[in-house]
Amino acid sequence: MSEARFAAALAALSQPHDGSGSLTEPILDVIPVTGASVSTLGDLFGSETVEASDAVIGRIDELQFDLGEGPCWDAISVGEPVLEPDLSTPIRTWSAFADALHREHEIGALFAFPVSVGSLRLGAVDLYNEEPMRLDGVAIDRLLVLSGLLGRRVLERAIRLSGDADTGISRHGRRLIHQATGFVIAQLGVSADDASQLIRAHAFAKGQSMEEVAQQILDRTLTFTVSGARIEGDA
């Protein structure tokens, strides 16, 4: 696991994502597993696979979405990696997912890492290996760093899919958004850029303008909080 490959992965995932580059290839260049996926989970962006390196990991995601259980759900719930290094032994948790997985595929190891922006958990990185394997401390630390970078790339994707949402915003509207951004920074502990993107993503998810969402935040009819795996708008 060379420093050069990790540096290259950091550089690749630190760049704004325009949809043309891979999100999983940098991970596979660093971690010697068979496959990897990036997914969103929860209410804000819905539960879907953003990218899967192969059909097997894509199916693993689908099973977890359909059954509502599995390592990705646990990773986003607790905000920590979930590691299953040897699936040849019975899995005591996620019985429905484990049964479905064993019926369809012979997987040796399965791992999930939370994808977050600040305290807001957006989804997960899932990795599988055909043979049992353990991730050492260095691999875990590097995956945590890469998963953190992926949080911003997932946000950018949501903004890109929403279109140019801030076109035509008035000076007054931009002032409202700027003020609301400060509220979100305080609520979630994120950067100004991330807070602005979250406002835009919430507007897209709710079919509203950024100005409308900003006004709700300033009126305190919308408060961003993190509860388990979800972002919630509380009155």
- Residues 178 and 100 occupy one common structural domain: no
Which of 36-45, 50-59, 132-141, 203-212 is predicted with the least confidence, judged by mean pLDDT? 203-212
- Residues 154 and 189 occupy one common structural domain: no
Q: How far apart are CA 178 and CA 41, in angstroms?
A: 28
Q: What is the CATH number of the domain that holds 98?
A: 3.30.450.40
Q: Which pLDDT score is estimated for 99?
A: 93
- Residues 177 and 78 occupy one common structural domain: no
- Residues 204 and 92 occupy one common structural domain: no
Whether 192 has a pLDDT exceeding 90, the answer reads no
118, 145, 161 - which closes a domain: 161
Whether 235 has a pLDDT exceeding 50, the answer reads no
Sign of CA dihedral 101, 105, 109, 112: negative
> Model's pTM, two decimal places?
0.79
Q: What is the CATH number of the domain that holds 204?
A: 1.10.10.10
Give start and end residues of each alpha helix (H) in 49-136: 55-67, 71-78, 95-104
161, 192, 212 - which closes a domain: 161
The string of pLDDT tens digits covering residues 17-49 is: 776 789 999 999 999 999 999 999 987 778 999
| pLDDT above 70 coverage of the chain, percent | 91
- Residues 193 and 181 occupy one common structural domain: yes
Q: Report the run of H or E that residue 149 belongs to, with start and end.
A: helix 137-162
161, 195, 225 - which closes a domain: 161
pLDDT-derived band at 92, boundaries 50, 70, 90: confident
Give start and end residues of each alpha helix (H) in the chain: 3-14, 25-30, 55-67, 71-78, 95-104, 137-162, 171-188, 192-206, 210-218
- Cβ–Cβ under 8 Å, residues 199 and 214: yes
Whether 2 has a pLDDT exceeding 60, the answer reads yes
Q: How far apart are CA 161 and CA 61, in angstroms?
A: 21
| Mean local confidence (pLDDT), 115-120 | 78
- Cβ–Cβ under 8 Å, residues 140 and 174: no
- Residues 72 and 90 occupy one common structural domain: yes
Q: How far apart are CA 166 and CA 160, in angstroms?
A: 12
- Residues 176 and 145 occupy one common structural domain: no
- Residues 41 and 117 occupy one common structural domain: yes
Q: Distance of alpha carbon 233 from its chain centroid, rounded?
A: 19
- Residues 113 and 226 occupy one common structural domain: no
| pLDDT above 90 coverage of the chain, percent | 59
Q: Distance of alpha carbon 149 from its chain centroid, rounded?
A: 10
| Mean local confidence (pLDDT), 123-150 | 96
- Residues 124 and 213 occupy one common structural domain: no
The string of pLDDT tens digits covering residues 142-178 is: 999 999 999 888 888 877 776 654 556 788 888 999 9
- Residues 221 and 140 occupy one common structural domain: no
Number of structural domains (the chain) is 2
Which of 107-116, 120-129, 146-155, 220-229 is predicted with the least confidence, judged by mean pLDDT? 220-229
Domain that holds residue 180: 165-234
- Residues 150 and 173 occupy one common structural domain: no
Whether 131 has a pLDDT exceeding 80, the answer reads yes
